Amino acid sequence: MIRWLRPLALLALAGVACAGTAQELKPYSPAWKYHVLHVDVDVAADGGTTTHYETVWTILNESAIDELRQQSISYHEHDGTLEDVVAYTLKRDGTRIDIPATNVQVTSNNGINGAPPAFSDFMSRNIVYENVEVGDSIVLSYTLKNEKPTFPGYYSLLTWFDDTTAYDDATYAVTAPASLALKQKTYVLTQPKVTKVGGDRRRWTWTYKNPFPRDTRNDNRTFERAWHYRDLPTIELSNFTDYRQIAEAYAKRADTLAAPSERVRKLAAEIVAGTTDKRQQAEKIYAWVSKEIRFAGNCLTGGDVVPRDTDLILNMKMGDCKDHTTLMQALLKSQGIASTPVLVGTQSIGYELPEIPCWQAFNHVFNYLPETGIYADATSTTNPFGTLPEGDRGKPVIHTAPFDGVRKTPARTFSDNTTTSSDVLTIAADGSLSATSRVKLTGDSAHSTSKHFVDWMKSPEYDNGVQYMRQMFTRMGYEGEGRYTELPELDKPADSFAMAYTYNVRQYYVTDDPHGVDLSAIFAGAGAMSNVVQYAASKKPDYDFYCSGDTRTQELSMTFPSNVKLLAVPRDVHAATDTLRFDATYVRDGNTITVKRQLVDRSPGPICSPEVAVEYATIGAAVKKDAKAQAVYAPAN
């Protein structure tokens, strides 16, 4: 099962290219370019920064005008100061058109009457440029002062340029006291120029030009590339000596807020009432936080690493990842259950950590319970206790207190993620269809499906699916009805989910003429293998790609009426590689056909080598062949 994750770009806006065949492609020309991109950071001894940005975008194609004529500056209002904003349109002939005050909108997330913001303190200044045409340039420069460092005494930088964007003149410069002892690592860039500034300061300057950006139109779209820092024009700069220091720096700022108050102790006792088993208590606390505290806020973006007070979180019944983690930690602690915050990078490049320890590699935090060895991310509303969302799995993480080295969260395997469906179809003499279907799910599919049914069954619209199925058949052009006959009693997402439903469709098949009929149920979603067909014509990529395994099993029994005669039944299909296997078997007994299909994908995940892509192509071809299989029948007389 290929995973669809989008690469993260910190310092670029990706242009949109039109896909086509190789012989149809015109020479690639980006819609816009960075004529100038200068970032100059001045670092104080305590890690505070003053950063000056100077950006000039040049419009090369009309398609970029709407994208670039609006720019936004965002920053933490209570930790930063915006100064010296200059914005204007520079016409091709050199004419300068300054932005009037009416074209600037300031958005603040502050509370009223001077009160601090409840969750997000981001201030945004949105700028709309006037009279922008092809050949013109958009100019924006400003200075941001962050006098409150994220971690006092430390500075780190993790960023990269986008090789699919054109740059005429890009520089990134950092000036800092030599006493900070910054270390750097550079990939796909010329090593920085290091100079002395004054008596005790050093300046690192990276330069980048990219007049011919990478043309992505012929990229392999089937396998999503697993990016590594070494693949990108990356800058790593930090005075953290190791990841232990990052863990300790976070714990120093966050741990005191996890001390349980009397209110938290009382709430925890109510949540776990009647339960003495520690694991069950932890599960109840997790379920309560996941359900009752809505996700909102900044998480670890923009240097905001301090959780909010638990009273505020409980009053608002919302919070970001830090708040969920801190509240859950406090609730657990009040019941004598140990836990620690865990820092992780949920972005697609987060499957590795920078060689130079940089805190920006982490954008999310959740809990770890050492007594049970369970990771718990209470920001998820679909994951049952003991499981993690996809973005958290198979990732390098650091436990903040106590730190015990860089660890890795568990990844789910092909045996964890299973989909099994069983369909019994009976066709009447007039072509009407009656069917009974059973579905069993484990893993990711179970999480999302069980959450859907938990919410739906509590709503006033729930009617055992009667209206939903009737409307489905109507949209297909048929008259029919159906309903769910078996559903589990759930009050929260589950790691396994089973259901059964029946349906009838009038005159679905034609029985008075010869026909070929697909051997599949009407509702083929559970255990569907059709998406594997896309790999049949795929080319081997020259990079690692994202993947994860699963097991899908389908069983189908189709009984035809006595007024038709079966003329042909498909042949079996079998294909196997080291990692994947597909089997489809067809057995005929009179007028009944029994079909069994199974796809087993043992992809190790979360990242596969290019060789595994070749295996997907082999299996995709077999599934494509089977997808065209039909039984052929004709009237018996």
Q: What distance lies between CA 489 and its chain's CA centroid?
A: 30
- Where is mean pLDDT largest: 181-185, 304-308, 347-351? 181-185
Please list the residues that pair with 250 across neighbouring strands: none
**Which segments of the chain belong to CATH 3.10.620.30?**
244-408
Mean pLDDT across the stretch 538-551? Answer: 92
Instruction: Identify whether the C-beta of residue 326 lies closer than 8 Å to the C-beta of residue 253.
Output: no
Question: Using alpha carbons only, how large is the chain's radius of gyration in Å?
Answer: 29
Alpha carbons within 13 A on the beta-carbon side of 602: 7
Q: Which two tokens stand for residue 104?
A: 């600037």
Determine the Cα–Cα distance for residues 187 and 165; give it in Å rounded to an integer. 17
May I ask the CATH architecture of the domain 244-408? Roll (3.10)
Segment 263-268 shows an average pLDDT of 97
pLDDT at res. 199: 83
Percent of the chain with pLDDT over 70: 92
pLDDT given for residue 430 in this prediction = 96
DSSP-derived letter for residue 308 is P
Q: What span, in angstroms and rounded, lies between the C-alpha atoms of 604 and 546?
A: 10
For residue 208 the two structure tokens come to 């980048």
- Mean local confidence (pLDDT), 112-137: 76
Rounded Cα–Cα distance for residues 541 and 80 (Å): 44
Query: What is the pLDDT averaged over residues 191-195?
Result: 97
CATH 2.60.40.3140 positions along the chain are 30-214+228-239
Can you give the pLDDT at residue 528? 79
28 pLDDT band, cuts 50/70/90, is confident
CA nearest to 360, candidates 4, 11, 3, 14: 11
Q: What is the pLDDT of residue 352?
A: 94
**Do residues 46 and 153 touch, judged by C-beta distance below 8 A?**
yes
The amino acid present at 156, given as its one-letter code, is S
Count the neighbouring beta carbons within 10 Å of the beta carbon of residue 187: 16
Find where tokens 């709309």 sit: 128
Per-residue pLDDT tens digits for 130-140: 999 999 999 99
Taking residues 277-296, what's their average pLDDT?
95
Neighbour-count burial of 589, counting CB atoms closer than 10 A to its CB (0-12 exposed, 13-18 middle, 19+ buried): exposed
CATH code for the domain defined by 418-635: 2.60.120.1130
Q: What per-residue confidence (pLDDT) applies to 308?
A: 86
Instruction: Bin 578: left if φ > 0, else alpha if -120 < ψ < 50, else beta.
Output: alpha
Contact present, 345 and 364 (Cβ < 8 Å): yes
Distance in angstroms (rounded) separating the CA atoms of residues 492 and 383 = 9
Q: Are strands 592-601 and 550-559 parallel, antiparallel or unpaired?
A: antiparallel
Number of residues in the chain: 637
Paired with 596 in beta bridges are 555, 585
Whole-angstrom distance, CA of residue 381 vs CA of residue 325: 14
Q: How many separate helices (H) and strands (E) can be counted in the chain?
A: 9, 34
CA-based angle 234:237:242, to the nearest 5? 115
The helix or strand, by DSSP H or E, that contains position 611, with its residue range, turns out to be helix 610-627
SS3 359: helix
Going by the DSSP 8-state scheme, the letter that residue 473 receives in this structure is H
Cβ-based burial of 454 (10 A; exposed 0-12, middle 13-18, buried ≥19): buried
| Helix or strand holding residue 456 (H, E) | helix 444-458
pLDDT in tens, 217-260: 888 888 999 999 999 999 999 999 999 999 999 999 899 999 99
Which alpha helices (H) appear in 25-176, and where do they start and end?
65-68
Mean pLDDT of 154-178: 97
Instruction: Answer whether residue 8 shows pLDDT above 60.
Output: no
Question: In whole angstroms, what separates CA 562 from the centre of its chain?
Answer: 52
Q: Is-contact 508 524, C-beta < 8 A?
A: no
Q: What span, in angstroms and rounded, lies between the C-alpha atoms of 538 and 615?
A: 10
Please tell me the distance from the alpha carbon of residue 610 to that of residue 224, in angstroms, as a whole number. Answer: 11
Looking at residue 108, what is its pLDDT? 67
Beta partners for residue 36, in sequence order: 56
| Per-residue confidence band for 348, with pLDDT thresholds at 50, 70 and 90 | confident
Over residues 310-315, mean pLDDT: 92
DSSP string, 500-545: EEEEEETT-S--SS-EEEESS-S---TT--GGGGGGTTPPPPSS-E
CB neighbourhood size of 548 (10 A)? 25
Q: What is the pLDDT of residue 218?
A: 81
Report CA-CA distances (Å) from 233 to 177, 241, 517, 563: 25, 23, 54, 69
Please identify, in words, the CATH class of the domain defined by 30-214+228-239.
mainly beta
Q: How high is the pLDDT of residue 302?
A: 58
Number of Cα atoms under 13 Å in the Cβ half of residue 167: 22
Q: Supply 460's token pair.
A: 């006033």
Closest CA to 481 of 497, 463, 499: 463
DSSP state of 570: P
pLDDT tens for 478-525 read 999 999 999 999 888 999 999 999 999 999 999 999 999 999 888 876
Q: Are 143 and 80 in contact (CB under 8 A)?
A: no
- Give per-residue pLDDT as tens, 9-26: 333 333 333 334 445 667
Q: What is the chain's mean pLDDT, rounded? A: 90
| DSSP tag of 569 | -
Other CB atoms within 10 A of residue 353 CB: 20
Mean pLDDT (whole number) for 31-37: 97
Torsional sign, CA 410, 411, 413, 419 = positive
Q: Is 183's pLDDT higher than 60?
A: yes
Q: Residue 285 — φ and ψ, nearest 5°? A: -65, -45
Q: Which residues of 378-413 are buried (b: 16+ CB within 10 A; e: fewer)?
A: bbbbbbbbbbbbbbbbbbbbbbbbebeeeeebbbbb
429 pLDDT more than 60: yes
